[in-house]
Amino acid sequence: MALLELEHVSRRYGRGTHVAEALRDVSLTVEEGELVAVWGRRRSGRSTLVRVAAGLEPPDSGAVRFEGRDLRDGTETVRQQIAFCRRSFRATEGRSVLDQLVRGSLARGVPPSLARSGAREALERVGATKAGSYGPSELDGAEAVRVAIARTLTRRPRVLLIDEPTIGVDLAERDEILLLLRSLASEDGIAVLATAGEGPALSGADRALSLSEGKLRGTLSAELATVVPLRPAASRSAGA
């Protein structure tokens, strides 16, 4: 049983004659400890894909499942295990990055001492310890991505969904962001689904798929994969 599964998912916007199909009969699985990257041009449906996979938008047809349970029927505990990486910040959530992470945990009922220690651990895990004292507006592109990932890690998710993690990031920093996602999958066992608008952003993925006009192409499940494309040779396991 796949950790995250999309089965024949379609998603449409608009009404009457002005209907646009963002996703068309998309099926996809993501396993624990796997990094799957989906490439697509603008308006390909890539952002819709991760939002539907996160349960933020319902599919018009088909199903999204976590460990076999439809997200529409799942409890809040199930939904909390799937984290959508949001890069925006709200002023009401705190002046500093650390405050933002702590307040998010407090809102979920985490005790104050655990909320603060968990926030610090998450920032350290993504290599953004110094950014904890910065204001959100002071972050550069790479720092903003790291902090956004840290915010999801405070929830201790089993699935992480991130839309274009390298957009707005300096070229010199992009490989480090991709290596971070790779390590979250390999070392932390998190299932990661990321989208990309350019080829280099697929680097390090266990599977690289393409999305065009809402149709997903490539090897859709880990069981059917005969090779592991783009993953660094040193991290490949026998028979992967």
Helix (H, G, I), strand (E, B) or coil at 203: coil
Superfamily grouping for domain 1-81+157-221: P-loop containing nucleotide triphosphate hydrolases (3.40.50.300)
**Number of CB atoms found within 10 A of residue 176's CB:** 14
Output the pTM of the full model. Answer: 0.86
DSSP-derived pairing of the beta strands 35-39 and 4-13 = unpaired
DSSP 37-90: EEE--TTSSHHHHHHHHTTSS--SEEEEEETTEETTT--HHHHHTEEE------
Structural domain boundaries in the chain:
1-81+157-221, 84-156
pLDDT tens, position by position, for the chain (240 residues)?
A: 889 999 999 999 987 777 888 999 999 999 999 999 999 888 889 999 999 999 999 999 999 999 998 888 766 767 789 999 988 887 667 789 999 999 999 998 999 999 999 999 999 999 999 999 999 889 999 999 999 999 999 999 999 999 999 988 998 899 999 999 999 999 999 999 999 888 777 788 999 999 998 999 876 666 554 434 444 444 434 443
Handedness of CA 223, 229, 232, 238 (dihedral sign): positive
What radius of gyration, in Å, describes the C-alpha atoms of the chain? 18
Q: CB-based contacts of 10: which residues, under 8 Å, 6+ apart?
A: 21, 23, 24, 25, 26, 59, 60, 61, 62, 214
